[in-house]
Amino acid sequence: MGAFIIALIRFIRILFIYIAQKIQKSNPDNVAIKYMIACANCILECLERVTEYINSSAYAYMAITGDSFLTSAMNGFLLNLKHMMKFAVANSIAKVFMFVGKLGIVLGNTFLGYMMMKYVTKDIDNVSSPLNGLIIIAVVSYLTASIFLMLFDNAVMAMTTSLGVDLDLNNGVPQFGPPTFHEKSARAHVTKDNVVDQEEEASMSPRNNMM
């Protein structure tokens, strides 16, 4: 269901871009049409991103509760609204780590490729432009890193959803998961004035194993 919804939205967007290009070719000097096409494309892109996020939340909620997709999508969305700050902070940290990871992998592989061409295979003097090969290495590295680091984003969504469900089931006091997870989560989401109270509350709560 989730894959079908995303595929449907992307198909509509691709179809819209195709029709928009045809309209622009027939009216190249019409500024109003350009603005309308840009606005519509922005709306479709926002809809696609929101749908992907809701699908990711629904999958995480399904894994925890075993509910159907539509029920999980609704409950996962409401859970995101209820614990908005926790999800926002966790997703922001995940995005930063993913960006740093992609940047490091691309730069590292590109530099390694250059060094191999220069000192191992010694082909750098036999090609007209080594830049083309380095660009291919960078692009392939970026695509590969994006695929694998996407798992980190999904893991953060799953852990934050688990924390939200745990808080709702136990009246705001988490009962499951490693104590260090709750302590670090509490430090990330409270102000400095409440840090001591949160740590005392975490130390008094039962420290059971993860569900």
The reply to whether the predicted model has a pTM over 0.75 is: no
Digit-coded pLDDT (tens) for 97-106: 899 999 999 9
Q: Decide which of 156 and 177 is more confident.
A: 156
Question: Could you give the CA distance from residue 112 to residue 118 in angstroms, rounded to a whole number?
Answer: 10
Digit-coded pLDDT (tens) for 70-119: 888 888 888 888 888 888 888 888 888 899 999 999 999 999 988 888 77
The predicted structure's pLDDT at residue 82: 86
Question: Could you give the CA distance from residue 42 to residue 46 in angstroms, rounded to a whole number?
Answer: 6
Highest mean pLDDT among 28-42, 100-114, 115-129: 100-114
Which residues, 6 or more positions from 30, have their beta carbon under 8 angstroms from its beta carbon?
none
Which residues, 6 or more positions from 153, have their beta carbon under 8 angstroms from its beta carbon?
56, 91, 94, 95, 98
pLDDT of 23 above 70: yes
The predicted structure's pLDDT at residue 144: 92
Token pair in block for residue 197: 């109270």
